[in-house]
């Protein structure tokens, strides 16, 4: 077999059994994760081991144009989350259903199954958390900076029950809300912050650097 590998500058062997039924897409993803290399790199050979021993060697080739040896790949939009089927429109629709329409993830998953789309609530929850941290947090922090430049900020806190935050279930927590005053009609900012208590240190930390007037809503 290795008589055919004289032209390769590097050879990688995936130790242990590999399910070859993954297909080319599954194997290329494994090359990225296990080796950290581009599976389409020129003159590099990746070897995988299956269970069967009666199959001769075969090659998976990626062809380039006849006029150049450079591999030409079609444009692929950047993934919202790595190795995920999540798209901006799909995650946005889930967030809208949950936070605007007040639908639990269980009900969203049920509605999707009616259209033969099987996405568990755990997967959707992971998407919402990761996308919020990656894409929405910078927006939140920028709005926070702008809010601190206003003359008047109103704030209040509301009790909420959270099932999992490191404490016994149904422990009382608080959702703090901070918003611009009624005179800032050109750019209204409303921000929420979750805290486990209603201690004064929470608004003091949130409003650090603010030199205007604070009022309760």
What digits encode the pLDDT tens for the residues 10-38?
777 776 777 766 666 777 777 777 667 77
Residue 99 pLDDT class (50, 70, 90 cuts)? very high
Output the furthest CA–CA distance in the chain (Å, rounded): 80
pTM of the model: 0.60
Check if the beta carbon of residue 111 is closer than 8 Å to that of residue 96: no
21-37 CB burial, b ≥16 within 10 A, e <16: eeeeeebbebbeeeeee
Alpha-carbon span 160 to 162, nearest angstrom: 7
Which 8-state DSSP code applies to residue 21?
G
Domain positions in the chain are: 1-76, 88-140, 148-216
Q: What is the pLDDT of residues 121-168, one digit of tens each?
A: 999 999 999 999 999 999 999 999 999 999 999 999 999 888 777 788
């Amino acid at each position: 077999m290795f008589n055919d590998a004289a032209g390769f500058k590097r050879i990688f062997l995936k130790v242990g059994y590999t399910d070859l039924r993954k297909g080319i897409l599954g194997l290329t993803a494994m090359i990225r994760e296990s080796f950290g290399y581009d599976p389409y790199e020129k003159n590099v050979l990746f070897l995988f081991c299956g269970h069967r021993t009666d199959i001769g060697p075969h090659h998976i080739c990626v062809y380039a144009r006849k006029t150049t040896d450079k591999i030409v790949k079609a444009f692929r939009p950047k993934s919202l989350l790595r190795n995920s089927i999540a798209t901006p429109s799909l995650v946005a629709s889930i967030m809208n259903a949950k936070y605007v329409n007040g639908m639990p993830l269980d009900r969203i998953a049920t509605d999707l199954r009616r259209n033969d789309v099987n996405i568990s609530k755990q997967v959707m929850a992971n998407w919402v958390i990761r996308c919020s941290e990656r894409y929405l947090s910078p927006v939140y922090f920028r709005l926070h900076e702008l809010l601190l430049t206003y003359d008047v900020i109103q704030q209040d806190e509301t009790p909420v029950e959270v099932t999992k935050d490191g404490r016994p279930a149904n422990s009382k927590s608080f959702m703090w809300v901070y918003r611009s005053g009624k005179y800032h009609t050109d750019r209204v900012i409303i921000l929420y912050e979750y805290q486990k208590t209603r201690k004064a240190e929470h608004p003091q930390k949130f409003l650090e650097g603010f030199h205007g007037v604070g009022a309760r809503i």
